[in-house]
Amino acid sequence: MSLHIDGLSKTYPNGVRALRDISLTIAPGMFGLLGPNGAGKSTLMRTIATLQPPDAGSIRFRDLDVLREPARLRAQLGYLPQEFGLYPNMPAEAVLDHFASLKGVTHRGERKALVERLLQQVNLYEVRKKSVGGYSGGMKQRLGIAIALAGAPQLLIVDEPTAGLDPTERNRFLNLLADIGEEVVVILSTHIVEDVRELCAQMAIINQGTVVVQGAPQRILDEVRGRIWRRTVPRAQAEAYKARHQVISTRLAAGSTVLHVYSEADPGDGFEAVEPALEDVYFHRLAAASGGRVPAEA
């Protein structure tokens, strides 16, 4: 039931090359797609979801040629885009009933049972009669997932689902995704490293429309183990250290700057070796792809 993406490319009319020969194989379970804003994640998600055609390449899901038979893919697709609209004056159960009908659940009794089950699954059953205009951001995201699940999809795509959520809502939403990901192919597109680290057995990092690394998070971490070094310095000295070392990230802490550098050997200069985190791989790969510049996220 894997999703196979081969040689996918997309250039917009304004000349922006959003995808550059993207190739990925995504097995059932949770797959994390990491990258900064503007990396091409949303373009890739929309292309997989058959919302826009690529200039070149192919997409296959199971035995299905997605680009040639988009309607067949949509019948087994759940998609939660980064931004989506709801009917603010309608209660959640009516909104979900409407979308379930659009997804082909035409029998009234069957649809009623489905709506109740999904609202319980996303922990919205107790507020099912409340107008969605009064929902919090996290509640709207959970309703969006319920809508995406209404057609019992075998492929689920979620684009930046936890952006803007508070920690409690974020944890609740991630737990929901983890439960879903046990049975279907789930693609989690995000720029939040922690979301991928906590959930995904497989991942890829893309930047400027290109895959810069892919594989299991643990294997990716093993590739940089023993090569990540840290030192805390006064803020005024940070630029001097950046000039001497391959700094991959900086973080302010108690008025000082915490530097992480990538080095094959001990860089000296007071740095100490640290166990790498997925953030280190992320920043290292983005810096390498950007000519050594520390990414803005750092």
Task: Please report whether residue 296 resides in a domain.
Answer: no
Structure tokens at 204: 């890829």
Classify 155 in phi/psi space as left (phi over 0), alpha (psi -120 to 50) or beta: beta
* Helices and strands counted in the chain (H then E): 10, 14
Last residue of a domain, which of 163, 190, 216?
Answer: 216
Last residue of a domain, which of 188, 216, 244?
Answer: 216
Q: Name, in order, each residue with C-beta under 8 angstroms of 83's C-beta and a sequence gap of 6 or more.
A: none
- pLDDT for 9 equals 97
- pLDDT for 87 equals 84
* Whether residue 63 is found in the same domain as residue 116: yes
What strands lie across the sheet with 210-215, from one edge to the other?
77-80, 155-159, 185-190, 29-34, 202-207, 210-215
Residue 260 φ then ψ, to 5°: -115, 130
- Contact 24/214 with Cβ under 8 angstroms? yes
Domain count for the chain, please give it.
Answer: 2
* Whether residue 262 is found in the same domain as residue 168: no
* Whether residue 148 is found in the same domain as residue 227: no
Last residue of a domain, which of 183, 200, 216?
Answer: 216
Q: Read off the pTM.
A: 0.85
* Whether residue 183 is found in the same domain as residue 253: no
- Contact 259/278 with Cβ under 8 angstroms? no
* Whether residue 28 is found in the same domain as residue 96: yes
Let me know if 98 is exposed, middle or buried by CB neighbors in 10 A (0-12, 13-18, 19+): middle
We report the CATH number of the domain holding residue 83 as 3.40.50.300
* Whether residue 85 is found in the same domain as residue 151: yes
CA pseudo-torsion sign 227, 264, 20, 218: negative
* Whether residue 230 is found in the same domain as residue 163: no
DSSP state, residue 125: G
- pLDDT for 173 equals 82
* Whether residue 127 is found in the same domain as residue 266: no
Task: Please report whether residue 168 resides in a domain.
Answer: yes
* Whether residue 42 is found in the same domain as residue 101: yes
For the chain, helix, strand, coil in percent to 5 are 35, 30, 35
Task: Please report whether residue 120 resides in a domain.
Answer: yes
pLDDT mean by block of 10 residues, the chain; 298 residues? 94 95 94 90 94 96 94 92 86 94 89 94 93 91 91 90 81 83 87 85 93 91 93 94 93 93 94 93 82 48
Task: Please report whether residue 111 resides in a domain.
Answer: yes
* Whether residue 23 is found in the same domain as residue 104: yes
- pLDDT for 146 equals 92
Task: Please report whether residue 47 resides in a domain.
Answer: yes
- pLDDT for 66 equals 97
Task: Please report whether residue 295 resides in a domain.
Answer: no
- pLDDT for 98 equals 93
- pLDDT for 58 equals 97
Task: Please report whether residue 264 resides in a domain.
Answer: yes
* Whether residue 232 is found in the same domain as residue 185: no
* Whether residue 79 is found in the same domain as residue 199: yes
Task: Please report whether residue 24 resides in a domain.
Answer: yes
Residue 192: give the domain boundaries: 3-216
In this structure, the number of other CB atoms found within 10 A of the CB of residue 208 comes to 17
Separation CA 248–CA 193 (nearest Å): 15
- pLDDT for 296 equals 42
